[in-house]
Amino acid sequence: MIPYNRITLSNGLVVVVNRDRVSKLAAVNLLYKVGARNENPERTGFAHLFEHLMFRGTRRVPNFDLPVQMASGDNNAFTNNDYTDFYITLPKDNLETALWLESDRMQGLGITPEKLETEKRVVIEEFRQRYLNQPYGDQTMLLRDLAYKRHPYRWATIGLTPDHIERTSLSDVEAFYRRYYHPSNAVLSISADLDEERMLTLVDNWFSSLPDRASTPDPVPQEPRQTEARRLEVERDVPATTVSVAYHMCARTEPDFYTADLVSDLLAGGDSGRLYTHLVKERQLLSSVNAYVSGDVDPGLFVFTGQLLPGTATDQVEEAFRAEIEALRRDAATEYEIEKVKNKFEATTLFGELNVMNKAMNLGFYEMLGDLTLINREIDRYRAVTPDDIRSFCDRILRSENSSTLIYRARQ
């Protein structure tokens, strides 16, 4: 249970604070509601490149990291398809340093052509290091591209190609900044052992004078319903073949999400999950296996993926995945299995509340989803899932016509 206080400043900035009772640190999380889903298909990877530029200094503070580090702080950021998240932890007495710096870069960013050129090179190296120079580096990219035809989820946060990053201009950067980086498109969350009223006053001091530049985002093209099974087979220089099967499912905020997440846990939660037990341990078809939900704001994917042991054929694995779905549909889940998944969520929740950074980040995430109260209520959503829901989920979602299969074959 995370107690919190939530207010909205007159410029639209949503602020959420939590009083921790133990930590000597303060965690400050600033989330902007913009991600790869808001990108132009000709300029993919842009939201992430922009995240990097946010560390390139402002007109007033030429070096962002310096004052953070001087205040014994640490900061970083990440971008995903839905949002961009900046976070700082520092000794709680230095909370204001974080607020000062975040308020400053919400409006005063000073990007020069030179800074942009250097950052493009850094991001292109990141593209190479994580996606091109890595065995299986392009696997999820291929799967996205197969499963999505219209929705921008068809590309990864890093983008479709380094060329898109290369072509970014300074005016693209300025337009993006004006459009998405303003108070009413952001959520500021803090967790620290400080009085909540005091935290809110400090936030007010540093943020309330920032003017808003409200704008309505372009609608995100939604994915048409898939009507027939899709497949793609590629060959790469990797030691082991993998099989991935993705099914379209609902958005993160819909009730069906909890059924999907629970199903993924029944199949792949820990070493006692059904897939690991049956396909790795008993039948020894795979060296590793997973089932997961993407958990995106717009309708996402339910994915099966397995890495084959030598001697296993890909159609055996596809058949084995189908058999597991059939078993779920037929026997659904027992009370015992559902209780187990609930225990797991309870443990995950409590382990996640052990430090201030996790709490601040979670507060920002649930506010971004549009329902902050979920942070303390999700366990009830999981508790509400019934065996009938699971059967229905298998029928509606885990169907062949709704599937995209990627065979990522090891070159002989």
Partner 1 sequence: MTPPRITPSEVDVQQAEKRILRNGVALYWLASEDFEVLRISFVFRAGSSVQTVPFSASAVVNLLSEGSTERSAQQIAEQLDYYGSWYDVNIDRDYAYVNFASLSKFFDRTIEVAEEILLRPAFPEEELRTYAAKRKQRLAIDRTKVDIEAREAFARALFGATHPYGISSDEGLYDSLTRSQVVDFYRRFYTAERCFVVCSGRIGERELQAIGALAEQFPHGSPEIEPPFPTPETVHADFVAHPGAVQSSLRLGRLLFPRQHPDFVGMQVVATALGGYFGSRLMQNLRERNGYTYGVVAAMVNFERAGYFAVATQVGSDVTREALEAIYHEIELLRTEPMPEEELELVKNMMTGEMMRILDGPFGIADVTIENILCGCDNTVIGENVRRIRRMTPHDVWVLARKYLARKDLVTVVAGAERPW
| Footprint (CB under 8 A) of partner 1, residues 376-405 | none
How far is the C-alpha of 252 from the C-alpha of 310, rounded, in Å? Answer: 37
Q: Which of 270, 330, 335, 412 binds partner 1 (CB under 8 A)?
A: 270
Residue nearer to partner 1 on the CB measure, 128 or 231: 128
Tell me phi and psi for residue 69, to 5 degrees: -70, -35
Q: Does 134 bind partner 1 (CB under 8 A)?
A: yes
Helices (H), 208-313: 255-268, 274-275
Q: Does 99 bind partner 1 (CB under 8 A)?
A: yes
Which pair of tokens denotes residue 63?
């070096």
Least distance (Å) between residue 298 CB and partner 1:
29
Q: Which of 69, 169, 201, 373 binds partner 1 (CB under 8 A)?
A: 69
Least distance (Å) between residue 183 CB and partner 1:
19
Q: Which of 5, 272, 373, 400 binds partner 1 (CB under 8 A)?
A: 272
Q: Does 12 bind partner 1 (CB under 8 A)?
A: no
Residue nearer to partner 1 on the CB measure, 117 or 371: 117
Residue nearer to partner 1 on the CB measure, 132 or 229: 132
How far is the C-alpha of 57 from the C-alpha of 277, rounded, in Å? Answer: 51
Torsional class of 159: left (φ above 0), alpha (ψ -120 to 50), beta (otherwise): left
Q: Which 172-211 residues touch partner 1, going by CB under 8 A? A: none
Binding mask 226-265 for partner 1 (x = CB under 8 A): -----------xxxx-------------------------
Q: Does 219 bind partner 1 (CB under 8 A)?
A: no
What is the chain's alpha carbon radius of gyration, rounded to the nearest angstrom? 23
Least distance (Å) between residue 12 CB and partner 1:
23
Q: Which of 23, 44, 264, 294 binds partner 1 (CB under 8 A)?
A: 23
The answer to whether 389 and 215 have CB atoms below 8 angstroms apart is no
Q: Compute CA distances 214 → 180, 219, 288, 361, whole Å.
A: 9, 15, 47, 24
Q: Does 24 bind partner 1 (CB under 8 A)?
A: yes
The answer to whether 139 and 406 have CB atoms below 8 angstroms apart is yes
Q: Which of 16, 333, 356, 385 binds partner 1 (CB under 8 A)?
A: 356
Q: Which of 129, 169, 222, 373 binds partner 1 (CB under 8 A)?
A: 129
Answer positive or negative: Cα dihedral of 190, 194, 197, 201. Answer: negative
Q: At what angle do helices 374-383 and 335-352 cross, to 10 degrees?
A: 170
Q: Does 373 bind partner 1 (CB under 8 A)?
A: no
Q: Which of 343, 373, 386, 400 binds partner 1 (CB under 8 A)?
A: 343
Q: Does 133 bind partner 1 (CB under 8 A)?
A: yes
H helix or E strand, kind and range, residue 372: none
Rounded to 10 degrees, the C-alpha dihedral 80/83/88/89 comes to: -80
Q: Does 97 bind partner 1 (CB under 8 A)?
A: yes
How far is the C-alpha of 63 from the C-alpha of 9, rounded, in Å? Answer: 28
Least distance (Å) between residue 367 CB and partner 1:
23
The answer to whether 29 and 85 have CB atoms below 8 angstroms apart is yes
Q: Does 45 bind partner 1 (CB under 8 A)?
A: no
Q: Does 169 bind partner 1 (CB under 8 A)?
A: no
The single-letter code of the amino acid at 93 is D
How far is the C-alpha of 345 from the C-alpha of 332, rounded, in Å? Answer: 20
Q: Which of 281, 323, 380, 411 binds partner 1 (CB under 8 A)?
A: 281
Q: Which 299-338 residues touch partner 1, going by CB under 8 A? A: 307, 309-310
Q: Residues with Cβ < 8 Å from 114, sequence gap 6 or more?
A: none
Q: Does 25 bind partner 1 (CB under 8 A)?
A: yes
Q: Does 73 bind partner 1 (CB under 8 A)?
A: yes
Q: Does 345 bind partner 1 (CB under 8 A)?
A: yes
Tell me phi and psi for residue 63, to 5 degrees: -125, 110
Q: Does 157 bind partner 1 (CB under 8 A)?
A: no
Q: Residues with Cβ < 8 Å from 72, sequence gap 6 or more?
A: 90, 91, 94
Least distance (Å) between residue 343 CB and partner 1:
4
Least distance (Å) between residue 219 CB and partner 1:
34
Q: Order the strands of the 74-79 sheet from edge to edge.
A: 5-8, 14-19, 186-192, 25-32, 84-91, 74-79
Q: Does 166 bind partner 1 (CB under 8 A)?
A: no
